[in-house]
Copies of this chain bind each other. A is one copy, B any other.
Amino acid sequence: MSRTQIPNEAYAPTGAWYVAALSSELSVGGIVARTVLDHPVALFRADSGQVFALEDRCPHRFAPLSSGVVKGDSVQCPYHGLEFDGTGACSRNPYGPVLRAATIRAYPVEERHRALWIWMGEQGQANPALIPDFGFLAEAPDTAFSAGYMHVAANYELIVDNIMDLTHTDYLHAGSIAGTGMVHKVKPFTSEFPDRIEVCWFAPDVPLSPFHSQIYSSLERADQLVRIEWYLPGIMKLTANFMPCGRPEEEAFSNTNAHFITPETKTSAHYFFAATRNYSREDIKLNAFIAESREKAFATEDKPIIELVQNRMGSGDFWKLKPLLLGVDEAAVRVRRRLEKATREEEAHATPRGSGF
């Protein structure tokens, strides 16, 4: 725990890899300030190209290092010039010898899949092998790749819920990025695996929405298949395939997207997303059209509703508010249970607070 933290009921596991930023947010010498699980973090890319994450508070006078500058492989505090390297150790003290005690917390960071992954739990337990394989993001050419970031004033689980139940696209996105408007007519199939939960919708022989007709001009009707894979805590892959009716998935116009959702506080989250596709991969205009349509829908349709849901829930706990769950909520509910289990188990194994007093 950072020294600023007030002990409180945990709302997410800390022993997990979260996406703290997109790789593209940090060029050499760049610094990003981002709060993750209530901890202010300064992410910086050193001259070596490596990215580090430090507690964003100088131990001297509590200034945010993220307002400073990168000096070689260290970051310099903007206020009085102390420097800290990527391990959190003081690497320069302008006023005398480097002080051993002047250390700050460093968070393990891994750069993978065009994203910066941060580990918020015990440092020794950070195992990069736990990062799910989203290699498709790095493999896509730039002309078939787009990514974005959105701040959402809502608990991260509400964003996960949003994606785990794609029937919302038939209503919330009816006038924008909805696929066929037929998702709510078919039954989803949910499967649990040790490392993930999958949910799948298959709508055969359905007419395309105006939006999708622009993209797949050769299709009038299609078999629509949507598959979502969720990994702890809010790492999600969404595949949306449109096949000529009756044809196998291999012939699909296929979109493989990533949704990375990271809690900022109990009631706010960082939402990173990225899209790739297997068709017209050199078409830069199409790429921009898809990116702009998605950004607009997310910003003007998903974000306002999810934030209003948080508003309507107030400080109430999801289960205590007794949601009236439907069959389509199965996948989202399984995810919530998995998240709750991971969070509670971690709390149970944690060193009791204040035990030394």
Contacts and interface: CB of A to CB of B under 8 A. Distances in A.
Interface stretch (A89-97, A224-232, A338-346): A89-97
Contacts of A72: none
Nearest to A60: B324
Contacts of A101: 324
A168 B81 CA distance: 8
Contacts of A314: 4
A28 interface: no
Contacts of A245: none
This chain: how many copies in the complex? Answer: 3
A308 B63 contact: yes
Contacts of A96: 326-327
A171 B77 contact: yes
B165 A327 contact: no
Interface string A182-196: 001100000000000
Given A79-B171, A80-B167, A168-B80, A63 B326 contact: no
A153 to B, nearest CB: 14
A62 B314 CA distance: 10
A3 B102 CA distance: 45
Contacts of A323: 59-62
A312 interface: yes
A3 B322 CA distance: 9
A304 interface: yes
Interface size classification for chain A? 35 or more
A268 B185 CA distance: 44
A326 B79 CA distance: 13
Contacts of A131: none
A350 interface: no
Contacts of A64: 305, 308-309, 311-312
A61 B327 contact: no
Instruction: Return the 6 tightest CB-CB contacts between A and B, nearest first.
Output: A59-B324, A57-B312, A81-B171, A94-B184, A62-B312, A64-B308
23 contacts: A3-B316, A3-B322, A4-B314, A62-B309, A62-B313, A62-B323, A63-B305, A63-B309, A64-B305, A64-B311, A64-B312, A67-B304, A77-B171, A78-B171, A78-B305, A79-B309, A80-B326, A81-B167, A81-B171, A81-B184, A96-B326, A96-B327, A102-B324
Given A76-B171, A81-B171, A95-B326, 19 more contacts: A4-B314, A40-B312, A59-B323, A61-B323, A63-B305, A64-B305, A64-B308, A67-B304, A67-B305, A77-B171, A80-B165, A81-B167, A81-B170, A94-B184, A95-B184, A95-B327, A96-B327, A99-B324, A101-B324
